[in-house]
Structure 1
Amino acid sequence: MPNPTPTPKLIRAHVFISGRVQGVGYRYATVETASQLGLTGWVRNLPDNRVEAVFEGAQPIVDEMVRWCHAGPPAAMVKSVVVEYEVWEGLRGFEVRRCE
């Protein structure tokens, strides 16, 4: 009997991106890219000019999205990306959130 294909590990990455990442379409490009990859989560601007995002999904796909964050859309100039791995919550959809 063949072994079933292992289910990929589901993870949650909480990401903080700094540099020229506001006013360049970073949030909307993040929504588009994450949605195309089938990830769930959210993205928002922070008052200190960083962008904050949460990505949930299979580990290889989340890792791909985190790599994308290091470049972002063409007009962005990313200086740093800080990633914190958290407990997966099972979010649905991907949205832009308002800054709190």
Structure 2
Amino acid sequence: MLDVMAGEGHDGEHEHARGRHLHVLVPPVLAVEILSPSSRRTDLVAKPDVLARFGCRHYWVVDPQTPGIRVYRLVGDADESGEVVMGEATFEVREPFEVSFRLSDLTR
């Protein structure tokens, strides 16, 4: 399950044991995961591969404890781990859309 998904292409919703669950038919433009201690390995190792195989071109992993963001981009058939922004730095990207904010604002 993802914490945030941007895009179109789900066929409705149904209740899942952990909450709302979407049936995704096409890759999202952006997937965002908020790290938690129980899912850290899955979110940093397994999900980038699964999302790359599905065709998701942008995957961000947010660590609210650091704070930090790791950016993955689909390059060819595989996810490429790009920049890691941490601490008081400003997170800025132009794709899949332009956004900029200070990471320290995530914990306010």
Report the TM-score, using the length of structure 2 for normalisation.
Answer: 0.33
By relative contact order (CA 8 Å, sep 6+), the higher-ranking structure is 1
More helix by share: 1
More strand by share: 2
Report the TM-score, using the length of structure 1 for normalisation.
Answer: 0.34
